[in-house]
Every structure is written in C-alpha cells, then in structure tokens.
Structure 1
Amino acid sequence: MSVQEHVALAEIELCGELMIAAADAAEERLSADRIDEVLMRVSADADK
C-alpha cells in the first residue's frame, strides 16, 4: 500500500469518527473543543 493510500485511509477514519461524534451530539454543531477531543482520541488510539 502506498503512502498516499495510508494517508487517505487515515483521513477517512478521522472523518468517520467526526461523523459519529456529530450524530451523537445533542447540539446542532460540534464545538471546536469537541472536535479536538475526538481527533486527539483517534490519534492516541493510532499510536498504540
């Protein structure tokens, strides 16, 4: 798998996590803090 494919898959995973968080959110839009929280969690999970 090429580097570009790995990057694309990582971006798709991040988008998916943000969509899940948005669907679970009570408010209409995710706050910047919530977006950061989701992205940092995904990044921490990837480092394991």
Structure 2
Amino acid sequence: MAPLRTPTVQDHVALAEIELCGELMIAASAADGDRLSADRIDEVLNVGADRAGTDRSGADHAERSSCRC
C-alpha cells in the first residue's frame, strides 16, 4: 500500500505577514528603547513616507499595520 500524501498548500499572504512580523521582532530586539518609533516601523516594513492619509507622528499607526509584533 502506498503512503498517503497530503498536498502542500501555502498561503502566500500569511507567509508574507509572518516574515514582516519577524522583521519587526528583529528590529525591536535591536532597539535601544522600549518601543519602535512609527518611522522605524515604517522603515522596517518598507512603507512609503508619502502615503495618502498617514500621520508621521504615529497617531494612526495602528490602522496602517495589522501586525502587533
């Protein structure tokens, strides 16, 4: 009897989110302070500074990122 094979399925969106969270964790562990600034988070996530509707002060940062790493 041949062994059962399960098909390999990859959720590319989930894999990308996991990778971004990992990048944030690496940046956070290397940071001097308690928290990363909104600018540093944007830099790690490669978010453009001129996105429409963004506030560089970080006031709307929770809306820009669903990853709470």
Query: Into which bin does the TM-score normalised by the smaller protein fall?
Result: 0.7 to 0.9
TM-score norm. by structure 2 comes to 0.53
Q: 1:32 — aligned with what?
A: 38
Higher relative contact order (CA 8 A, sep 6+): 1
Q: 1:22 — aligned with what?
A: 28
Task: Measure, in 1, the Cα distance between the counterparts of 2:39 and 2:33.
Answer: 13
1:11 Cα deviation from its structure 2 partner? 0.1
Unmatched 5+ residue regions in structure 1?
A: 42-48
Please state if 1:8 is matched with 2:14: yes
Query: RMSD across aligned C-alpha pairs, in angstroms?
Result: 1.6
Task: Measure, in 2, the Cα distance between the counterparts of 1:37 and 1:27.
Answer: 16
Greater helix proportion: 1
Unmatched 5+ residue regions in structure 2?
A: 1-8, 48-69
1:29 Cα deviation from its structure 2 partner? 0.2
1:8 Cα deviation from its structure 2 partner? 0.2
TM-score norm. by structure 1 comes to 0.75
% identity of equivalent residues: 74
Tell me the matched-pair count: 39
